[in-house]
Amino acid sequence: MTDRWGHSGTWEDMLRQTYKGLDLKVDDLYLLEACDLENLLGRVTHRALAAVIHANPALRRVWSARFPGIITFIDKITTKYGRASSKKELDFLTDKIVWEIAELLVYHRYPKIYDERAAIAWDFKELTTEVTLEDRVVVDVGAGTGRIAFQAAPLARWVFAVEPVSSFRRFMRERARNEGIKNVFIVDGFLSDIPLPDGFVDVLATSQAFGWSLLDELREIERVVRPGGIAIHFSGMTVDEKGPIHPVITSDKWGYKCKQYCNQGAWHCKYVRYF
């Protein structure tokens, strides 16, 4: 399987290692939201998912209600692939599915554990050396547990944490309330559909959260970032493994510069554009 960056290989094995010890079950699949389901097609083994849906028909009803666009995909794979041949095979295929998308399930069941174990460990100075945050409007899109948002809060005037996953929004709201942080606002949204006015943003930042709908995202960033502002993306790509996103975002049309930052001992690409 190849992801949006062009990576392939043992993604499932990496997730099993990262979230070792967590008990993920078939019932956790009911937690997936529309934003998860929209990108499910390229993330799972179709034979395994078909077997799981045959054994758990309520999944089709729940997922279809949340994201009607998945109906055609579900019907196609369940028509092509039948039920598991035995309980042993079903257990194997179920285990495979939950670990292929383990990070999505951990988002919903264990946001605190995700925050602790996620493979994001870059120095916040990688952002503040590019731009001052003092008295600025900062937007952290695809905020997750709010790593950028909460580090920006002591410096910025306002911080908007845009996150489509409801469990993460609850996690951030609880943290802001518990820590008495008054200038962080948590809102539902996507990088391709940011719920903020035109030219509102001074600093827009993402951390491993862009590239799902790249052209729509780039157009939306242009809409919300004011002249004189900046957009900076901390990608999941190492310097040596530039994927299909790289030539698009660094083209003359979009004008981002690729720089390097260190994350967990490896050099990665960060993309910076001054507007």
Question: For the chain, what are the domain ranges?
Answer: 11-109, 125-274
Indicate the range of 48-52, 130-134, 262-266 predicted with least confidence: 262-266
Q: What pLDDT does 118 receive?
A: 67
Indicate the range of 77-81, 97-101, 237-241 predicted with least confidence: 237-241
User: What does the alpha-carbon distance between residue 206 and residue 159 come to, in Å, rounded to a whole number?
Assistant: 13
Q: In the CATH scheme, what architecture does the domain 125-274 have?
A: 3-Layer(aba) Sandwich (3.40)
Global model pTM greater than 0.85: no
Taking every pair of Cα atoms in the chain, the longest distance, rounded to a whole number of angstroms, is 62
Q: Residue 136 is which amino acid? A: R
Q: What pLDDT does 120 receive?
A: 64
Look up residue 159 and give its two tokens. Answer: 């911080």
The pLDDT tens digits for 148-207 are: 999 999 999 999 999 998 888 999 999 999 999 999 999 999 999 999 999 999 999 999
Phi, psi of 77 (to 5 degrees): -75, -35
How crowded is residue 124: how many other Cβ atoms within 10 Å of its Cβ?
13
